[in-house]
């Protein structure tokens, strides 16, 4: 036992944290030991290991983790608190730095830009007269993500209800894990599978919808047999965000107070009526925020979209139809990494990245705001906890 208990209490700065008066200089303190025997608190004199009653020591090893306590170290406390605060500060600094830095690099490029950044569809960032605008990127990004959300949310709600209120108890957990596994598949594999195997079976759907509704520009079908279209990307994105939306919805549906559910059943409601009048109203805001988080995911997804979407070119110019190719912010940036050779060009891509950052941020903030405002069930005091749980779940599914 080599505790440095020789260091006397007088060394301790007087201003420090409120220390107990007769600070016990104890070794081998035991958490969870029943009714601390007197010797532990006899003060400085008891600082030697020899003074410890042997039964206490034996009990110590048996009952719980052993703590080796030196003298109360204010230095240690200050150092550790400093480290923890420093890490917190570092996180703030990193985010601020990312924002400021991207802005600083984007501004010169934007200043040189000869066309409207927000409303132009041209993308020629290099040269004497750089011209670039994000209108087309913004359109494709938002449209593909919203379609993905519209497809994913009803299925996710169905799956969440299945795992919480329909599946047999023994099946529920494995089923939930199986859906979570979808989140473990890397996005490049979604991309490959999407374009090679999934896109061909979407072909009839595309033909059918564009045949019936093709007079609408959004559903117009360009000539050719291109399957690398926005719609295909959207369906694959829907599969990719399904686990996130499911996990959060599941969490919130499971929290529906049992009194609400049993009340409904006691009134003679069928299972579906019970869900409609107790579970769904309770989980509504949670589902909305889960959808927004899913939307945020879809907006920033890069590689799957990059692989699936065919890039508009001379023969196949930009088209507002969801059955045409296109580029999102993320796929544009990733596709043109080789072009980052001059600061002006890089600046243009950074400006696009910044817009993506802001859009994603707004969507995520909206999701969190909805959770914070209403929480599951409306006015429950537990709402903060639930919001945290949902956020953690989102992290875990990531």
Partner 1 sequence: MSVLAANKPAYDGQTLDLSGKSGARAFKNTLATVLIVLAFAVALIPLLWILWTVISKGYSLLFDANWWSQSQRGVTVRREGGGAYHAVMGTLIMGLITAAIAVPIAILGAIYLVEYGKGTKAARAVSFMVDILTGVPSIVAALFVYAVWITVFGFNRVGFAVSLSLVLLMLPVVLRSTEEMLKLVPDELREASYALGVPKWKTILKVVVPTAFGGIVTGVMLGLARVMGETAPLLILVGYSKNINLNPFDGFMGALPTMINQDRTELALEPAADRVWAAALTLILLVLALNLLARLVARFSAIKSK
Q: Kindly identify the residues of this chain, within the stretch 79-138, that bind partner 1 according to CB under 8 A.
A: 79-81, 83-92, 94-96, 98, 101-102, 105
* Binds partner 1 (CB under 8 A): choice among 149, 206, 230, 242: 242
CB of 141 to partner 1, least distance (A): 10
User: Which window, 2-10, 117-125, 129-137, 388-396, contacts partner 1 (CB under 8 A)?
Assistant: 388-396
Cβ atoms within 10 Å, residue 278: 22
CB of 217 to partner 1, least distance (A): 28
- Cβ partners under 8 Å of residue 38, min gap 6: none
Beta carbon nearer to partner 1, 94 or 212: 94
* Binds partner 1 (CB under 8 A): choice among 3, 24, 42, 207: 24
> Crossing angle for the helix pair 383-397 and 280-300, nearest 10 degrees?
40
Q: Across the strands, what pairs with 29? A: 67
- Token readout for 27 is 């070794």
Helix, coil or strand: residue 132 = strand
Beta carbon nearer to partner 1, 1 or 79: 79
Site for partner 1 in 296-325 (CB under 8 A): 296, 299-303, 307
Beta carbon nearer to partner 1, 139 or 166: 166
Beta carbon nearer to partner 1, 74 or 380: 74
> Is 267 an interacting residue with respect to partner 1 (CB under 8 A)?
yes
User: Which window, 120-128, 160-168, 203-211, 225-233, contacts partner 1 (CB under 8 A)?
Assistant: 160-168
How far is it, in rounded angstroms, from Cα 302 to Cα 322? 18
Q: Are residues 339 and 126 in contact, defined by beta-carbon separation less than 8 angstroms?
A: yes
> Is 61 an interacting residue with respect to partner 1 (CB under 8 A)?
no
DSSP H or E run through 123: strand 123-124
Nearest to 286 by CA among 361, 377, 364, 384: 377
> Is 5 an interacting residue with respect to partner 1 (CB under 8 A)?
no
> Is 67 an interacting residue with respect to partner 1 (CB under 8 A)?
yes
- What is the residue-wise DSSP string for 247-276? HHHHHHHHTS-HHHHHHHHHTT--HHHHII
* Binds partner 1 (CB under 8 A): choice among 6, 10, 34, 65: 65
Beta carbon nearer to partner 1, 220 or 288: 288
Site for partner 1 in 324-343 (CB under 8 A): 329-330, 333-334, 337, 340, 343
> Is 202 an interacting residue with respect to partner 1 (CB under 8 A)?
no
> Is 365 an interacting residue with respect to partner 1 (CB under 8 A)?
yes
CB of 386 to partner 1, least distance (A): 12
* Binds partner 1 (CB under 8 A): choice among 259, 262, 272, 373: 272
Beta carbon nearer to partner 1, 64 or 317: 64
- Token readout for 180 is 């979570």
CB of 242 to partner 1, least distance (A): 6
Helix runs in the chain, H state only: 54-63, 74-112, 135-161, 169-181, 187-193, 199-213, 230-254, 258-266, 271-274, 280-300, 303-308, 329-335, 343-374, 383-397
Q: Are residues 113 and 130 in contact, defined by beta-carbon separation less than 8 angstroms?
A: yes
Rounded to 5 degrees, what are φ and ψ at 300?
-95, -5
Site for partner 1 in 172-201 (CB under 8 A): 175, 177-182, 184-190, 192-193, 196-198
How far is it, in rounded angstroms, from Cα 132 to Cα 116? 7
């Amino acid at each position: 036992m080599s505790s440095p208990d020789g260091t006397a209490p007088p060394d301790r700065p007087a201003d420090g944290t409120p220390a107990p008066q007769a600070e016990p200089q104890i070794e081998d303190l035991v958490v969870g030991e029943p009714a601390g025997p007197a010797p532990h608190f006899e003060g400085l004199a008891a600082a030697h290991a020899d003074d410890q009653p042997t039964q206490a020591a034996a009990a110590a090893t048996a009952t719980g983790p052993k703590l080796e306590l030196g003298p109360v170290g204010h230095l240690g406390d200050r150092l550790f608190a400093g480290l923890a605060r420093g890490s917190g500060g570092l996180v703030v600094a990193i985010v601020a730095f990312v924002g400021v830095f991207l802005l600083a690099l984007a501004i010169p490029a934007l200043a040189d830009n000869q066309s409207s950044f927000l409303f132009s569809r041209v993308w020629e960032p290099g040269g004497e007269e750089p011209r670039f605008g994000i209108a087309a990127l913004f359109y494709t990004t938002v449209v593909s993500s919203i379609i993905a959300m519209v497809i994913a949310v009803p299925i996710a709600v169905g799956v969440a209800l299945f795992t919480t209120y329909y599946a047999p108890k023994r099946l529920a957990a494995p089923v939930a894990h199986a859906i979570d596994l979808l989140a473990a598949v890397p996005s490049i594999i979604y991309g490959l599978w999407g374009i090679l195997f999934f896109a061909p079976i979407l072909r009839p759907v595309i033909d059918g919808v564009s045949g019936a509704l093709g007079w609408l520009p959004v559903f117009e079908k360009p000539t050719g047999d291109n399957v690398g279209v926005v719609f295909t990307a959207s369906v694959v994105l829907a599969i990719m965000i399904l686990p996130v939306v499911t996990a959060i919805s599941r969490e919130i549906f499971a929290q529906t107070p049992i009194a609400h559910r049993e009340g409904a059943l006691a009134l003679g409601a069928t299972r579906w009526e019970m869900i409609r009048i107790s579970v769904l109203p309770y989980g509504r805001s949670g589902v909305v925020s889960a959808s927004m988080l899913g939307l945020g995911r879809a907006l920033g997804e890069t590689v799957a979209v990059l692989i699936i979407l065919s890039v508009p070119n001379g023969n196949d110019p930009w088209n507002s139809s969801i059955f045409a190719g296109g580029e999102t912010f993320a796929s544009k940036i990733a596709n043109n990494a080789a072009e980052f050779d001059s600061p002006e060009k890089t600046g243009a891509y950074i400006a696009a990245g910044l817009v993506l950052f802001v859009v994603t941020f707004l969507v995520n903030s909206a999701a969190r705001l909805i959770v914070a405002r209403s929480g599951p069930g409306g006015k429950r005091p537990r709402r903060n906890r639930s919001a945290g749980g949902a956020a953690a779940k989102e992290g875990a599914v990531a």
